[in-house]
Structure 1
Amino acid sequence: MIVPVPVSDVMATDVVTVSPDETAREAARRFREEDVGSLVVAGEDGRPVGIVADSDLVSLLADDRPLETTVSEFMSTDLVTASASEPIEDAARRMRDHGVDQLPVLDGDDLAGLVSVRLLSYYLPQVLLRQVGAPDSDVEDWEFTYSDESEAGLDVGDVATFSKTLSVGDVERFARASGDTNPLHLDADYARETRFGRRIVHGVLALGVVSAALARLPGLVVYLSQSVQFVAPVDVGDTVTARCEVIERLGKNRYRLETTVSDGDGVVVEGEATVLVDPSSPEETGVDVAIPRPE
């Protein structure tokens, strides 16, 4: 069973709000006291009518406008929101299309929470790559799934998968990043004379898709250990799929998973992983979810 993750499962619920009639001075005090990067502006009925980022306040001061200016005069009114019930993929797509990195979340017309790039990245790591400037072409072929066996949080039987094509660019970037410049992976003429007869992907790069699948698990995942056996080579340009199934609860938020990587012909990497999974709610993790909007 593939279970879409709704925004309500990811959002922060402790949203800091201000009234449109409050002054810039009062808003500045809220920024300092609440230690956040934005304030949702709510009307008398509690419904959001705008948003103020700390950068908006800085701009107001830079323009020598008085601190008694009301929030309604400098808030952003072109408010982009998410629905509490919609899939997180839809919210991530809206952030990208509108160039924002946080969305007030509505349950009907009522303000229910706030979702940010940082919170989404626990479930959708590719949104964080887009935020730091990775081209969409680098992530457009990624495919994630998460199958929740019990529908009650992470448990035995749950399965996460991740699929990606390992391109020439991926192999060359990995060689530069890791320092592994074995010509078997980079030099076609050299590779033709080896037992493989062609360039192949670094084994650790193929294993890396397991880490991507683990990042799809609900919560903040810490990779503790991995046993691995490289069963078959992966050709450059092949699409591989990692499959990670929870097979044992170890206690203290630790889990053991069976991990495999397959290409079109079968399993190429197999092993077991141990992970520590912290809950993803801001109250439990202490994550600061109020991220200033990009300039």
Structure 2
Amino acid sequence: MQTPARTITPGSPIVEAATRLRDEGIGSLVVERNGECVGIITESDIVAVTAEEGDTRELTVGDVMATALVTIAPEADLEVAVDRLRTHGIKKLPVVEDGELVGILTTTDISRYVPHITRPDASREPQPERRRFTRPDTLYEDDDWEFDSYGIADGIDVGDHVRFAKTLSEADVERFAEVSGDTNRLHLDDEFASGSRFGRRIVHGTLVSGLISAALARLPGLTIYLSQELSYRGPVDIGERVTAHCEVVEQLKKDRFRLATAVDDSDGECVVEGDAVVISDPIPDTA
């Protein structure tokens, strides 16, 4: 779990909650009243109410928060946490001990620490043999790049996971700016960036999250993006080595899967987190 969990009161304005989520690089705030957990508010809640209401200046956290709060104890098994997240269709679990909030657990936290969590009835089913892939289905590799990919030989399955790491150099930033057209001076101009909230140039957020796509390319089979939900939790410095992590957490259809995705900075702190939905096709026969 992450600790401490960030909190807010139900009487706080929605604008304050949105500002804190942005500035603190987090995806949710646990709502407390007189030391008691009474709800949770997430980025998705704020986006939904803004789309519906338009003007949210008069709204408070209490008007928007989810009050059916699902929590978990710190000593609970991770399998219990995964089952609770899946059953309730949520991504964040406040961790409560003796009525006191002690942390928060997210799908991304679980995906980073658990290579594979067995499905409830997995003991009744024959499980495919997973192996470490040392030669991916990519056109080329680079000496600076590192990856580990674990899965089955003819596609992907729940529990498969992959890690991809590379250094985001100044040349990468400059090439990305030219190719994408994102020539924001925050990424390219030292003097300009020194006056920003960061005090320095930083890597484009989209370039950082692009490592998730690089990781997915190193899963078995041909992986095709359908969607990607992302939260940006912190900046990445130019020249920093970052690592993308992806784990298959749910099979939606025969060839469609949901993955927990994240990117960590060189200190192991999560700077991007989210969920992806992909199609997994067989590798085309080029013989």
CA RMSD of aligned residues (A): 1.9
1:216–1:153: structure 2 CA closer, same or farther, 3 Å change rule?
A: same
Mapped pair 1:124 → 2:138:
yes
Structure 1: stretches of 5+ with no match in the other structure: 6-86, 89-119, 128-138, 290-295
1:125–1:160: structure 2 CA closer, same or farther, 3 Å change rule?
A: farther
Corresponding residue for residue 227 of structure 2: 225
Take 1:178 and 1:152, find their aligned partners in 2: how far apart are those partners? 34
- Could you report, residue by residue, the CA deviation over 1:105-155 in whole angstroms, capped at 9, with x for unpaired residues? xxxxxxxxxxxxxxx6xx23435xxxxxxxxxxx2110011123x778521
Corresponding residue for residue 3 of structure 1: 131
Among 165, 173, 179, the residue aligned to 1:177: 179
Structure 2: stretches of 5+ with no match in the other structure: 1-114, 116-129
Corresponding residue for residue 288 of structure 1: 286
Corresponding residue for residue 216 of structure 2: 214
Among 128, 140, 143, the residue aligned to 2:143: 140
Mapped pair 1:188 → 2:190:
yes
TM-score of the superposed pair, with normalisation by structure 2: 0.52
Among 231, 238, 241, the residue aligned to 1:239: 241
- Could you report, residue by residue, the CA deviation over 1:17-51 in whole angstroms, capped at 9, with x for unpaired residues? xxxxxxxxxxxxxxxxxxxxxxxxxxxxxxxxxxx
* 3-state SS of 1:175 partner: helix
Take 2:145 and 2:153, find their aligned partners in 1: how far apart are those partners? 24
Mapped pair 1:165 → 2:167:
yes
Contact 1:125–1:215 at 8 Å: present in 2 too? no
Corresponding residue for residue 249 of structure 1: 251
* 3-state SS of 1:141 partner: coil
* 3-state SS of 1:201 partner: coil
Take 2:180 and 2:154, find their aligned partners in 1: how far apart are those partners? 39
In structure 2, what residue type is equivalent to 1:163? Answer: A
| Identity within the alignment, % | 53
* 3-state SS of 1:270 partner: strand
In structure 1, what residue type is equivalent to 2:211? Answer: V
Take 2:154 and 2:177, find their aligned partners in 1: how far apart are those partners? 41
How many residue pairs match? The answer is 158
Take 2:261 and 2:184, find their aligned partners in 1: how far apart are those partners? 26
Take 2:196 and 2:262, find their aligned partners in 1: how far apart are those partners? 26
Q: Tell me the CA shift for residue 288 of structure 1.
A: 2.6
Corresponding residue for residue 261 of structure 2: 259
Corresponding residue for residue 202 of structure 1: 204
Contact 1:161–1:213 at 8 Å: present in 2 too? yes
In structure 2, what residue type is equivalent to 1:275? Answer: V
In structure 2, what residue type is equivalent to 1:218? Answer: P
- Could you report, residue by residue, the CA deviation over 1:237-256 in whole angstroms, capped at 9, with x for unpaired residues? 00000000000001131100
In structure 2, what residue type is equivalent to 1:169? Answer: A
Take 2:155 and 2:225, find their aligned partners in 1: how far apart are those partners? 18
